Chain A
C-alpha cells in the first residue's frame, strides 16, 4: 500500500485533531484537496470517492461488499433521488439494458425529473423549519407555500448552492430583487410567531432572531452558535459578544407579510382588469344620467372593489431606521449590556468590512469559498442521506464536541469538488450515487460486524427505513393512486378524526377530494401543533426548530398507522384494485405483480407459498360475510368504482393481501 506522505501527515494530524489547541481544530481550517490514495484493488473504484473508502478498508484488511443486485440498486437510487419506486416497466427496461452506462443514464434521468426537487427539497425544508402555521400556543395558519415551491424549483433548477443560500438570507437586498428572490427570504421567516394574548412582542422578536442564528449556525456552518447566546461557547472558540455581532445583521430586519402574485394570480388580475375595461366601455356607451347607466356604474364600482388579491408570503425586508444591538446578559433580553457592532466570529474566515456590512454582505461572507465549513457541512449532509450517517456523524456539530470525521480526506475532497463544480448539487449527487461505495450490497457480513460493527468504514451499504413522506409516496405510487401535480397551497390527505383536537384551538382538517387527496406528502399542510399523525409517527420533524437529521424510530404506533390508518387502508384498497385490473388471472401472477409494485422484485417460492395460503384463508373468511358488511373493506372512501356484490369477497381477500405487502419491512425500507 502506498500512502502519499502528505496524506499520512494529514491523517496523523487528524488523530490529534480533538486535542489540538483552540483555533486549530480541523473544521476551522479550509478544506484541502488531497490526492486520491492508492489502492490495491485497482479495478474496484468507479470514481474518486471509492479510492478514499477502499484505502481505509484495505488498511483494515477488509473487503468491500459486492455490488447490490440490479433491482435493489435501481430501487435504492430511485428512492434516494426522487423518493418514488421504479415502475415495473422501468425495472424491466433497466434489466434489459446491456449498455455499460445503463445505470448512469438512469441517474441522469432521475436528476432531471421534477420529482427530484420534491425529494431533496423536503430535506432542505426540514433544515428551514418550514410549516404552514405559526407555532406557539395559537398555531394560527399562515400562507407560506410559495417558499416551499421556491425551494423545490431552485433544487430542480440546480441553482448553485451559494446563490441558493444568498437568496434565502438576503434575496430582498439583491439589486433588482425578483419576486422569487423575495420569496426565498422566507427561509428565516419560518420562525414561530406567538399571537397569545398579553405577550411581550419584543421578547418573541428576539427569540426568532435567536432561532435564526442557531439555524444559520447548524445548517450552514455545522456549528452550535446557539450555545453562545448566554455565555462564551464552552467548547468552541465563539464568544458571546460575537454571537451578538451576528445578531446585529438580523436585527435590522422588518418582518412583513407581502402579496407576491403567482402566475395564476397575475392571470386572475389580468382577467379582472379586462372585465373592468369592458364594463367601463359599456358605461361610457350608455346614455348620460340614464337608469341603465347608473346601474352599470354601480356594477363597475362593485367590480373594482373585487380585485383578486394575490397570494401572500412572509418575507424579510431591510429596515430603514437601524436598531441598536446589545449583548444580553445570560441571553436575557431584559438585561441588555454594552452595544455591539456587526461582526462575525474571529475563528472563521476573515470579514474585514464586517462592521459596516449589511445582511447581504453577511450572506456573501457565509457563502464565500473561504468559508471552511459550508461546503463540508453540505456534502456531509448529502452523504448522510445516502449512507445513513455522515462522514462527520454529528452532522450539525463540526465543533470540538462533535465527532471526528471517519474519512477526513474524503470529506475535504468532496467539499473542494463541490466548489470546483460551481456549487452544483446535482454534480455531487451524481458523483455519490455512481460510486462503487454507494452501489454495494447492504447485506450484513459477519466479518464486518465483528471488526466494524457501526460500519464506519463503509464495507457495505445500509438498509434505511424510508422517511415519513416517502413511506406514503411509495405506497401511493405502488397503488397507482399517486397524483404528481406540483406546487400550490398545502393539501389535506385523510387523517383519523380527532387529531386536530389536541392543540389549543380546534383547527379544521377536511380531507381533500380529487387529485389533492393523493398528492406527494411534501405538499401536505403542515400544522406545527397538530402535525399529520402519519408523518409525525414516522419521525417527520414538527418544525419548531431546524432539523438537519431525522431520527429513525421503530414503534408500535407505526405498525398501527400502516395497518389501520384510513388513508393507508385506502391505498391498500387501491393497490388491490390495481392488481386485479392489471394482473393476469392466476393468483401467483397477481401476487408477483403486487411484489413488483411494492418491492420492484419477484417473489420467491417461499414468499408465494406464504401469501397464497394467506390469500386462501382470507377468501374463506370473507366468503361467509354479508356483501353489505364487505363494502367498507373493498370500497375506497373516495374515487373507487363500485364493486359488484359477487366480486366483493374476492376483492376483500386481495385488499388484505395488498395491505400485507404495504406493511412489509422491506416495502418501507430502502435496501
Chain B
C-alpha cells in the first residue's frame, strides 16, 4: 500500500521524492538560519516602550493653551451632553470681573468611558484631545475618577514626568 498521499511528491518516484524532500529541507534550514541573525522584534516592555502613534485613543485630556496658561474650555457642557456613558461632569462659575465662565471642575469617570470620542468631536473650542497614556492600572475604582484640571496642571508643572507617561 502506498501511504504517501502528498500531492507535491506524487509521480516523482523514489529518487525524485528524495531529491525534492532534501531540497525543501535545506531551504527550511536556510530560512531559520537567516532569521537567527536578524534583529529581535520583541519589545522588552517595562525596560523599553513602543512609540505611541498620534492616532492613539486614550482617555480624554484637556488641551493645554500656552498663551493663557490653562485650557480653552468655555464650560458649555456639550461634551457632558454628548457622552453616551454619562461619565463627564463639567462645572464652572462666573468670577468677579470676568466676561466668561471659567472652569472649576472637569471630572471624567474612566471606569464608564467607552472611548467613543464623541466629547472630542463635539467640543466647539477644540479643548479636548486624546491622551497618549496607556500605562493605566490601579487598585481601586476611585483611581480612575480623573480630575482633568488637576492632571493638566500636573502635566505642565512636571513636563518630564508627563512625557514618561506618569499621571
Are A and B co-members of a single complex? Answer: no
